[in-house]
Amino acid sequence: MKLASLLAISAATLIALPAAAQDNRDTSKDFNGPYISIGGGATLQGSDRGETLVFDTDRDGTYGDTVNTVGGTNAFSPGFCNGAATGTANVGCRNDKDGPEFFGRVGYDKRMGNFVLGALIEGGHSTARDSVSGFSGTPASYTMSREADYQASARLRAGYTPGGGALFYVTGGPAYARLDNKFVTSNTANSFADNGKTNAWGYAAGGGAELMVTKNLAVGLEYLYTDVKDKDYTVNVGAGTAPATNPFLLNGGGTDIRRSDQHFRTHSVRGTLSYRF
């Protein structure tokens, strides 16, 4: 619903932009050549339904083991939820955090009649955060969160301009993010260590529209979906002050924890301001 509302507002804003592009100037050279852009908007996090924490209780590199108590019952029987834990028992989680974003872009377009082909490189930052939590019967909570310190993409784009003045396009290409991972738990018995920031690779795809408002300036609105995969973030659980009967220690003296979904997915709705040389 949040994404649909933002897209509707964005579309209405684009329609309402001043008709400066419809003056009597020559539009035959619009959207042809190099440009630079700045922009910003909102990044939305999906709910990631069904995500859990997964465990490697014997540290053999294979995840999906069950963390059992000394009595043989599942220590995480209270379950999991999407978001950051609001308590130590399975009482629910806060929603993933949406947030503002900003970015810079350099690109080049080649216009061929009414068709435009181009390439761009973009880098920026978003404050959106994605979390998942698990709950043990002790009770205790365990939350993994991640957000991008910075992210970048190199994309192609293809568009159509009905005689110049306005451009409607689709875009896509590889994407990268430097993820800032955090782990929080109410368990004070075991020791916990993680590998902090990680690199994630994937792709970005979307579409948008640009409107020339002067000979060199263009404004635009864009939707972008980004999906990057982080295969490296792990939390290592050690003994700490816990006894040998601790569920994390029963099968080999320690347990590794990861998220079940390694994909970090975001939806962005953003405005752009471009200068064309």
In a domain, 28, yes or no: no
Q: Is residue 26 part of a domain?
A: no
Residues 62, 69: contact at Cβ < 8 Å? no
Instruction: Please say whether the beta carbons of 219 and 210 come within 8 A.
Output: yes
Asked whether residue 250 is assigned to any structural domain, the reply reads: yes
pLDDT band of residue 23 (cuts 50, 70, 90) is low
Residue 203: its pLDDT value, please? 98
Least confident of 13-22, 229-238, 256-265: 13-22
Structure confidence at residue 76 (pLDDT)? 95
Does 115 reside within a domain?
yes
What CA–CA distance (Å, rounded) separates 9 from 2? 11
Residues 98-126: what's their mean pLDDT? Answer: 97
> Is 205 buried (19+), middle (13-18) or exposed (0-12) by CB count in 10 A?
middle
Amino acid in position 212: M
- Burial label for 62, CB within 10 Å (0-12, 13-18, 19+), is exposed
27 located within any domain: no
Q: Is residue 191 part of a domain?
A: yes
Distance between CA 99 and CA 24 in Å, rounded?
40
Per-residue model confidence (pLDDT) at position 24: 64
C-alpha dist (Å) from residue 28 to 23, 216, 221, 255: 13, 13, 22, 64
Average pLDDT, integer, range 250-274: 94
Q: How many domains does the chain have?
A: 1
b/e sequence 11-45, b meaning 16+ C-beta within 10 Å: eeebeeeeeebeeeeebeebbbeebebebbbbbbb
Handedness of CA 6, 11, 17, 20 (dihedral sign): positive
Residue 88: per-residue pLDDT: 78
The H-or-E segment that residue 254 falls in is none
CA 157 to chain centre: 21
Closest CA relative to residue 167, chosen from 105, 218, 120, 224: 218
110 lies in which domain range? 2-21+33-276
Between 67-76, 82-91, 116-125, the lowest mean confidence (pLDDT) is in 82-91
pTM: 0.87
pLDDT in tens, 126-138: 999 999 999 999 9
Cα 50 to chain center, whole Å? 17
> Is 131 inside any structural domain?
yes
Task: Calculate mean pLDDT across residues 179-204.
Answer: 96
User: In this model, does residue 16 exceed pLDDT 90?
Assistant: no
114 within domain boundaries = yes
* DSSP, res 96: P
3-class SS string, 12-72 = HHHHHCCHHHHCCCCCCCCCCEEEEEEEEEEEEECCCCCCCEEEECCCCCCCCECCECCCC
Give the span between the Cα atoms of 39 and 273, in whole angstroms.
Answer: 6
User: Domain of 207: which CATH number?
Assistant: 2.40.160.20
Residue 2 has pLDDT above 70, yes or no: no
User: Which 3 state secondary structure label does DSSP give 107?
Assistant: strand
Residue 163: band (very low, low, confident or very high) from pLDDT cuts 50, 70, 90:
confident
